[in-house]
Amino acid sequence: MRLLSAALAASLLASAMLAHDYTSGNITIGHPFSYETISTARTAGGFLSITNAGDTPDRLIAVEAPVERVELHRTEQDANGVNRMVEQEGGVVIPAGETVTFEHGSWHVMFFGLPEGGFGDGDRIEAVLVFEQAGEIPVIFNVEARGGGHDRHGDHDEHEAGMDRDHDH
């Protein structure tokens, strides 16, 4: 029993270290992360959850990060079943009492003009999330290796192919 609980404690500790969150007022940011890129990559997606524990809606209006530009995107499917990404210039509403998850096929943060070498596994991207009500919340996007428990390679390939098509300007 002793060994078992030590193993359990170790695994709980490991997942606590992998997950990270930030709370400011009514807003909690869950596990902001991005994936490692190839060294010549120009763009990367950012993923997180945002929970609004308040009784009024809030709105994520901007993300600041040490890249050329950050946009808030939503992936939508057109009539031909092709995914394309649409920028949400008005920001993303976080309804009262709800959690909005930024993930593949849905909302995501889009980083443009990555630093030299792209994002590497283990990098920590310091960013600030700007909310209409909650104000500025500093967070760190952990850069994670692709693969490792996330079976999302296909989505990424589509996502990046979509980028080339939709952001050729």
Residues in the site for Cu ion, rule: CB under 5 A?
73, 85, 110
Specify the residue, 26 or 159, whose C-beta has the smaller distance to Cu ion. 159
CB 151 within 8 A of CB 42: no
Can you tell me the distance from the alpha carbon of 125 to that of 63, in angstroms, rounded to the nearest whole number?
12
Instruction: Locate the DSSP E strands across 36-167.
Output: 43-52, 58-64, 69-77, 83-87, 92-94, 99-102, 107-112, 124-131, 135-144
Specify the residue, 51 or 75, whose C-beta has the smaller distance to Cu ion. 75
Specify the residue, 54 or 162, whose C-beta has the smaller distance to Cu ion. 162
Q: CB nearest Cu ion: which residue?
A: 73
- Least distance from C-beta 24 to Cu ion, angstroms? 25
CB 31 within 8 A of CB 20: yes
Specify the residue, 47 or 131, whose C-beta has the smaller distance to Cu ion. 47
- Least distance from C-beta 76 to Cu ion, angstroms? 11
- Least distance from C-beta 120 to Cu ion, angstroms? 20
Distance of CA 20 to the CA centre of its chain: 12
Can you tell me the distance from the alpha carbon of 155 to that of 67, in angstroms, rounded to the nearest whole number?
23
- Least distance from C-beta 3 to Cu ion, angstroms? 46
